[in-house]
Structure 1
Amino acid sequence: VEIGESVRGEDVYIIQSGCGEINDNLMELLIMINACKIASSSRVTAVIPCFPYARQDKKDKSRAPISAKLVANMLSVAGADHIITMDLHASQIQGFFDIPVDNLYAEPAVLQWIKENILEWRNCIIVSPDAGGAKRVTSIADRLNVEFALIHKERKKANEVDRMVLVGDVKDRVAILVDDMADTCGTICHAADK
């Protein structure tokens, strides 16, 4: 990585999507931040719409890492002064940082898209494909003045869904499934089958 022009005294914004080759992109971001800092930029803001390792925000089993915290530490050590991200998987990730973090929400854009693109939106039901998204879905449903439902995943062991149970009435309605992350879209596809 090489910064192509002087950033001395400048307020620099570096945009890294966080998608694709996650480790390569993260390392490239860290190097760019550091390169700008040692080139005497006054401030570096990392814009990371999809925060790397956001799902690893807590220890869910022994000897498991809290990788989101590690990423936060690495961004700070590299020299980031400010982070802008979107819809963090868990709000506690903001607390992993010692620098300001703006966690922007997609909800206003989602509401606008629903109203502009779904003709029957007043007769819709907003559905969360898992219990973790219930808060997000109820907020959207409340703002649209419609009902909500959710899918409850029954698991026999971690990362293995035994069955999915729909909680709510979606019969004869447009069901709008809203999730915070979609890597393989497996959860949302299984939920749509319900």
Structure 2
Amino acid sequence: MANITEPKLISGNANRPLATAIARRMSMHRGVNMGLVEARVERFNDQEIFVEVFENVRGEDMFIVQPTSNPANDNLMELLIIADALRRSSASRITAVIPYFGYARQDRRTKARTPISAKLVANMLVEAGIERILTLDLHAAQIQGFFDIPVDNLYASPVFALDIKHQFAGQMDDLMVVSPDVGGVARARELAQRINAPLSIVDKRREKPGEVAEMTVIGNVEGKCCIIVDDLCDTAGTLCKAADHLIEQGAKEVHAYISHGVLSGPAQDRITKSAMKSLVITDSIQATPATQAAQNIRIVPTAPMFAQAILNIWNGTSVSSLFDHTTLEPIYEGLFARS
């Protein structure tokens, strides 16, 4: 790494505001201007993706910021083609910064004759020349094992813990962390431990995909300010039903902290009309105008955490240090106070 002066960032079209914010934070840390590498990522008339990098990247440590969110296939292809362009331009190392890892829900075979698409995506990323992955809250932790290259999986829970301590100062004793299903208990328990709150579970039963037939709350939520924790929210149907059910069981308020706001279809309308007082998401996926306009949806930034993680990878220092909210607190100093 002796020949590398600074890490370099390049972005696709999936979430340029986040990439710009990461570059700005890195500039603050390094004391030098670290703008995005100038490039064009565009489409021909038949929607083929074309990439041209306008700066010399020979021997450079390159970081591609590109979540594979909606449209997942287009954004994934952009990531692969950018990686190929950098590899053919003799970049020293290529790291894919994927704040939201699409296809992560297809991490196993649920029925006969179905694919494991997350593994296929992992193979494609490695074959394109990517040598390291940096991501946030993988839907299934075992996806890290799909790669034969290093994968750093950051967690939103330390950032959420900092936000909760600011937003709920004075009522921390009334908080109850809720997992919206049995599969998310580990994630909810981690946040509950960080804020020293009890844990409850919503057990749901489905008769068919997308429809919840029955919900049961495990734990006493009466009089509690409930905080639902999950890694992603798609159409928000289950989340809103869980919030309604918690209110029926005597909860005083219901809030939700979700790492990835996919928010497709009727999600924004459902959330606005639901019993939830607030939904907090990260900016891992670029918010649509409808999401930004929703009064009870709030977005917390991930750029400070990603910027520090990228610098740690470049420096060869610990990334796991960012799992601790005490490490993140100085990085996020003042941000939550203004929220």
What percentage of aligned pairs have identical amino acids? 53
User: Residue 19 of structure 1 is aligned with which of 47, 69, 79?
Assistant: 69
In structure 2, distance between residues paired with 1:121 and 1:15: 36
Q: Which residue of 1 aligns with 2:194?
A: 143
Counterpart code for 1:65: P
Distance 2:236 2:56 in 1: 42
Q: Which moved more, 1:183-192 or 1:104-113?
A: 183-192
Q: Aligned equivalents of 1:115 and 1:131: distance in 2?
A: 26
Q: What is the RMSD computed on CA atoms of the aligned residues?
A: 1.1
State whether structure 2 residue 144 is matched by structure 1 residue 94: yes
Partner residue, 1:179: 230
Where 2:230 maps in the other structure, the secondary structure is: coil
Query: TM-score, length-normalised on structure 2?
Result: 0.56
Of 86-95 and 139-148, deviating more is 139-148
Q: String of CA shifts for 1:38-57, please: whole Å, max 9, x gaps.
A: 11001000000110100000
**Greater displacement, 10-19 / 77-86:** 10-19
Q: How far 1:158 moved relative to its partner?
A: 4.1
Whether 1:165 aligns to 2:216 is yes
Secondary structure, aligned partner of 1:162: strand
Q: Does 1:126 align with 2:177?
A: yes
Q: Which residue of 1 aligns with 2:157?
A: 107
Mapping 1:16-55, distance limit 5 Å: 16-55=66-105
Please state how far the C-alpha of 1:122 moved relative to its aligned partner. 2.4
Cα separation, 2, equivalents of 1:191 and 1:118: 21
Contact 2:180–2:230 (CA under 8 A) maintained in structure 1: yes
Contact 1:122 1:144 in 2 (8 A): no
Aligned residues: 194
Please give the per-residue CA displacement for 1:115-139, whole angstroms capped at 9, x wherever unaligned.
Answer: 0112322210000111111011112
SS of equivalent to 1:2 = strand
1:46 aligns to what SS in structure 2? strand
Residues 180, 239 of structure 2: 8 Å contact kept: yes
TM-score, length-normalised on structure 1? 0.96
Q: In 1, are the aligned partners of 2:109 and 2:115 still within 8 Å (CA)?
A: yes
| Cα shift at 1:18 | 2.1
Supply the AA of the counterpart residue of 1:100: P
Supply the distance in 2 between the matched residues of 1:24 and 1:159 (Cα, whole angstroms).
Answer: 25
Q: 1:144, CA displacement in angstroms?
A: 1.8
Q: 5+ unaligned residues in a row in structure 2: which ranges?
A: 1-50, 246-339
**Secondary structure in 1 aligned to 2:222?**
coil
**Matched letter for residue 127 of structure 2:** V
Please tell me the residue identity of whatever aligns with 1:58: R
Whether contact under 8 Å (2:178, 2:228) holds in the other structure is yes
Is 1:82–2:120 an aligned residue pair?
no
